[in-house]
A = this chain, B = another copy of it.
Amino acid sequence: VPRQGLLRIHEAARAVGLTPRAIRFYEQQGLLTPSARSACSYRLFDEDDVQRLRTIKGFRDDAGFSVSEIAGLLADQSATQRDKAIYLASTDVGQRRRIAVEALARLERQLALLDAKRERLTKMRTDIETRADRVRARLAELDAEVRA
């Protein structure tokens, strides 16, 4: 059991449904940086890192974005990771407000992209349903023909 609630790479991987290899790859591509390394240079992940990995996996599996697209979506979240310290330390309300506004803008961009994806899926579903209806109609005709 790792110290201080930090997870090692295969524990983090199991927690979010990724492989250690994928996580290392994402780190190499700049999607995240584990918040600590152990004495023997093991990567150690905290709860925020794990949440970030879940987001990455969601964008990959559910939304089907490429790694470079995800990098774009999380770009200022790297800023966020940096901002977290600033945010917690800052007593300047204006500073905290600015950081929150940026985080909100990023989330809303993500929402817009997900909505676009959903619409395309819905349209595709409708098309296939239409084709299915035509086949059902043809079946009904054939059945009528048999009974006649």
Binding site for B on A (CB under 8 A): 58, 61-64, 93, 96-97, 100-101, 103-104, 107-108, 110-111, 114-115, 117-118, 120-125, 127-129, 131-132, 135-136, 138-139, 142-143, 145-146
Contacts and interface: CB of A to CB of B under 8 A. Distances in A.
Q: How many copies does the complex hold?
A: 2
Given A97-B139, A97-B143, 19 more contacts: A62-B117, A62-B124, A63-B121, A93-B142, A97-B142, A100-B138, A100-B139, A103-B135, A104-B132, A104-B139, A107-B131, A107-B132, A111-B128, A114-B124, A115-B125, A118-B118, A118-B122, A118-B125, A121-B121
Contacts of A115: 125
A81 to B, nearest CB: 15
A121 B120 CA distance: 12
B121 A117 contact: yes
Q: Which of A62, A127, A139: most chain B CB closer than 10 A?
A: A62
Contacts of A62: 117, 120-121, 123-124
Given A114-B125, A127-B58, A104 B135 contact: yes
A138 to B, nearest CB: 5
Contact of A132 (B63, B111, B139): B111
Contacts of A96: 142
Contact of A124 (B58, B93, B121): B58
